[in-house]
Structure 1
C-alpha cells in the first residue's frame, strides 16, 4: 500500500469505502431519529395523556444531550481512540433506542431519549474524524460527500419512515428499528475500522467541561422554550439563555489558558476553518430553520397527511443526491470558493418560490423549487465542511470536527426557534371568530386556528362553519408562512457575505504535517 502511486491513492478504494459505510450507518441512525420522532408527537400526546409542550421534550431532551456530549468527543477520541469510542457510542444509542420502546410514561421516554442523545451526540463528530483521517488530503471532499447524504436525507426520510411505521405498526417501531441497524453497525465497525492508536493521555479540562457543556445545554434549553412561550421575556426563556451564554462566554475567555482545552478555539487562527464555520452557521440558521416549516405548510395549509407531506419533500433529497457526489469530486480539485456561490444561488432561487406561497400554490411549482434547492444543498454544505477540515493537521481533526458539529447544533436550534416564533407571532395576529367560545387557553378562537383545525382535525370542527370563513383563514395562514419564509430567504442571501471569503485558490493540506517524515504513506487511506 505504501508503494502505491499517489494518483491511484486519490481514488476511493475498498478500504476507504468500508470505513465510510460504518460512518454512514451511524449517521443515518443519529439524524433520522431526530426527524422520525417529530411525526410521533401527536401520538405521544394521546398515548401518555400529556400536553404538546410536555411531549416536545422527547425531542428537546435528545438535542440537549447532543449538545452536552459533543464537546467531550474531541478529547475522548484522542485519549481512547476513535474506534472504541465510536463503538461505545453505537452501544449507548442502540440501548437507548431499545429502552425508549419499553417506556410506559412520558417521563421515562424523555429520560431514555437523553441516553440516546448521549450516544448520538458522539456519532457525528467521531464519524467526521474517522472519515477525514481515512480519506487523507486528496479525498476529503468525496468522503465528506458520502457523509453528507444522511445529513440531507434525514429531514426528508424521517417523516416518511415515521409516518409509515406509525400507520402500519405502532410508535414503538420508530425506536425498535434502530436495534437491528445498531447491531449491524456495531459488528461492521469492529471489522472495518482500523485499529486504534490513541495519542498519549492529555489532562482532561474539567473546568472547561463545567462551563461549556452546561452552558450549551442551558442556552439551547432557553432557545427551545421560545416557541412555546412566544416571547423572549418569559423567565424560562431569558434566564437559561443568559446563564448559558454567560457560561459559554466564560469558557471562551478561559479556553486560551490551558494547554489542552475541552474545545480548542485556537483552531480559529486557521482562516479557512473560521470562514467555513461562519458560513456554515449562517447557512444552517437560514435553511434548517425554514426547512422545518416546509412540511408544516403541507400539513396545516394543504391538509396533507404526515406520510404525504414527507413524500412531497422527497424532491429535495433527490436533487441533493444528484449533485453531492459531483460536488465532492470538485471539492478535491477546485477551490470551494469557486463552486459554493453557484450552489447557494440555486438554493436562493428555489427558496424564493416559498416567499410567494399561497393556499393553493401548484405542487408542481413547489416540488420543482424543492428539487432546485436540493441541487444547491448537495453542492453547499459538505464542500464548506471539507474546506473547514482540509487544512487541519491529523492531530487537530478530532477537535476541528467537534467545533463544526457544535456550530451546526447551535445554528439548527436557533434557526428552528426563530422561525417558529416568527410564524407563531404572525398567526396570533389573526382575527377572532365572531361569537366563537374561548379555546382551552382562555383566548378567543381565531380564523387561523379554525382554518388549521379544518386541515388537521376536521372531525373536531363544530357544525355550521361557513366555508368562506375557512377560506379566509387558510389565506391568512398561507400568508403567515410566506412572511416567515421571507425572513429565511433574507438569511440565505446573508450567507453570500461569508462565502465570498471562502478560498478561491487551491488549499494546501496539512493533514500529514504532524506525522514523521518517514511515516507519511503515499496512500493516506491507512492513516489513523
Structure 2
C-alpha cells in the first residue's frame, strides 16, 4: 500500500517520460530560476573566497590562525542551525518572503563584515551571515521546486547546480586576483552587487507567497536538531585542523551532535507537529535519494577541497594559478549540468545518478596513480571529465528527492536534503584530512597521501552509485 506522498500528484515516478504538454518549461519558471541562482552563487562563492583569504584577514586584524578559523567555523555552525528551522519559517511567513529577507540579511552582513574592526566582530557577523545563508539556499530551492513541478525538476535544478559546481571552481581565481590587487574587504563587498540585483529581480519576478498559521516553534526540537547538525559538522571539520579523529575537539562534538539528533528523532516521533516532518522518510523514493545524496555530497565536497591542495602542495601553484588550473573542472560541470537535467527528467534521477557517480569515480581514480610530473594536458582532460561527471552525479539525486514529495512538503524536503549534503560533505572533507595526515604520520611520501585521498574519494563515488541503484529500484516500482 502506497503512502500519501507516493500517490500524490507530485509523486509521479521520474522514470516515466513527461507528457508532451509538460516538455516545454514556461518562461516564468526560467525567470524564477535565474533569480534564485543569484542567491546560490552568493552562498557558494562567498565560502570559497573567505576560506582563501583567512590568513590575510588574520594578519590584518592581528589574530592568530586558531582564532581566525572561527570566521569559517562560526559560519558553518550557524548554517546548520538555520537549515533546521527553514521549513517552519517558510510556512510561517511564505517562502518567497523568507528568501528575500534572507537575501537582504546576507547582503547587509556582507557589507558590515568588510568593515569589522576586530576578529571578534568579524566572527560574530559571520555567524549572522551563516544564519542567513542557511535560510536562503533551501528557500530558493523550495521556490524553484514549487514553480517547476516534478516532471521538470531535473532541468530546472540543473541551472542551480551550475552555481554549486561553477562558483567553487572560479572562487580561487577571483579570490587570488582580489588579494593580489586589493585588500580582503573586497571578498565581502563583492556580494553587494549580487544581492542588490537579486533583490530587484526577486521583487519583480518571484511568485508571491503568503504565510499561514502554523504550530508554535518547537524550541526544544530546534536546539536538538540545529545543535546536533552544527556539532557534527564542526567536529568533522576539526579533523582538518587537528589531523586526528581522536582529538577531543573532534570526537566530543560529533558524539554530542549524534546524541542531539537522536533526541530530536525521538521527540519528532512523539510530537504531532515536529519542527521537521521526519515522516518524509517513509516515502521510499525520497529516503533513497537523500541517502545516496549523502555519499554523493561527500565525494563532491571532498574533491573540491582536495583539488586545490593537489595543485598548491604537489605542483607548487599559487592561488591564481590554482584557480586557472581548476577552470576545466568548473567548465565541465557547467556544460554537462543542463544535459544532466534533461536526462533526469527523461530517464529518472536514479538511473542517471548511478551512471554519473560511476563516471566521477572513473575520472577521479586516475589521480591515484599519476606521478607528480604528469602531463598537464592529461590532468586537464581528467579535470574536465570529472566536472562533466559531477554534472550528472549529484544534482539528479536532489531533483529526484524533490520530485518525490508533495508541493506542501517541499520546505521540509529541501531542509533535509541540504542537511544531509552538508554533513556528507563534512564527512568527505574529513576523509581527505585523515588520509593526508595519516600519510604524513607514517612517513610516506607526500604524493602517496594524495594518491590515497583520490582513491578514497573514488570509492565514495562508487558507494554513491551503489546507493543510487536503490532509488532507481523504487522509481521503477512506483
Shorter-chain-normalised TM-score: which range? over 0.9
Residues 218, 243 of structure 1: 8 Å contact kept:
yes
RMSD, aligned CA = 1.9
Aligned residues: 461
Question: Is the Cα contact below 8 Å between 1:81 and 1:197 reproduced in 2?
Answer: yes
Cα distance between partner residues in 1 of 2:95 and 2:300? 31
Q: Distance in 2 between matches of 1:139 and 1:493?
A: 27
Q: Which residue of structure 2 aligns with residue 132 of structure 1?
A: 145
Q: Is 1:32 paired with 2:45?
A: yes
**1:164 corresponds to 2:164:** no
TM-score in terms of structure 1 length:
0.84
1:297-446 alignment, distance < 5 Å:
297-430=310-443
Paired residue for 2:463?
494
Query: Displacement, 1:397?
Result: 0.9
**Higher RCO (CA-CA < 8 Å; seq separation 6+):** 2
CA contact (8 A) 1:335 1:507 kept: no
Greater Cα offset, 337-346 or 312-321: 337-346
Deviation at 1:345, TM superposition (A): 2.4
3-state secondary structure, aligned to 1:255: helix
Deviates more, 1:345-354 or 1:496-505: 496-505
Report Cα offsets for 1:14-50 as digits up to 9, x if no partner. 2111111111000000111111112112212321233
Higher percent of residues as helix: 2
Is the Cα–Cα contact under 8 Å of residues 344 and 377 in structure 1 kept in the other structure?
A: yes
In structure 2, distance between residues paired with 1:329 and 1:489: 25
2:154 aligned with 1:141: yes
Q: Does 1:253 align with 2:266?
A: yes
Pick the aligned partner of 2:218 from 194, 205, 212: 205
Q: List runs of 5+ in structure 2 lacking aligned partners.
A: 1-18
Corresponding residue of 2:245: 232
| Structure 1 residue runs without a partner (length 5+) | 1-5, 432-475, 510-528
2:60 to 3, 28, 47: 47
Render the CA deviation track for 1:86-124: whole Å, top value 9, x for unaligned: 111011101110111001222221111111111111111
CA–CA separation in structure 2 for the residues paired with 1:315 and 1:160 = 12
After superposing the two structures, state which structure 1 stretch, 165-174 or 66-75, moved more: 165-174
CA distance in 1, matches of 2:210, 2:452: 53
CA offset digits 1:275-325 (Å, max 9, x no partner): 111111112222312330111111111111101101111111111122211
> Match for residue 453 of structure 1?
none
Shift of the 212–504 alpha-carbon distance from structure 1 to 2, 3 Å rule, reads closer
The equivalent of 1:186 in structure 2 is 199
Kept in 2: contact 1:336–1:504 (CA 8 A): no
Secondary structure (helix, strand or coil) at the match of 2:347 reads coil
The corresponding residue for 1:19 is 32
Shift of 1:156: 0.4
Pairwise CA distance, 1:175: 0.4
Q: Is the 8 A contact 1:358 1:479 kept in 2?
A: no
| Residue pair 1:227, 1:420 contacting (<8 A) in 2 also | yes
Partner Cα separation in structure 2 for residue 195 and residue 43 of structure 1: 42
Corresponding residue number in structure 2 for 1:435: none
Shift of 1:496: 2.4
Determine helix, strand or coil for the equivalent of 1:395.
helix
- The equivalent residue for 2:288 is 275
Instruction: Find the counterpart in structure 1 of residue 5 from structure 2.
Output: none
Change (3 A) 1:215 1:15: same
> What is the aligned counterpart of 2:450 among 468, 475, 481?
481
Contact 2:353 2:465 (C-alpha < 8 Å) held by counterparts:
no
Structure 1 position 429, deviation (Å): 3.2
Cα drift, residue 242 of structure 1: 1.5
Distance in 2 separating the partners of 1:399 and 1:320: 28
Contact 1:344 1:376 in 2 (8 A): yes
Which secondary structure state, in structure 2, belongs to the residue aligned with residue 292 of structure 1? helix
Deviations 1:217-271 (A, max 9, x none): 2222222222222223322222222122111111111111222211211100111
Q: CA deviation at 1:141?
A: 1.2
Asked whether the 8 Å contact 2:245–2:434 carries over to 1, the reply is no
Say which one has the larger Rg: 1
Distance 1:399 1:349 in 2: 34
Q: Does 1:101 align with 2:120?
A: no
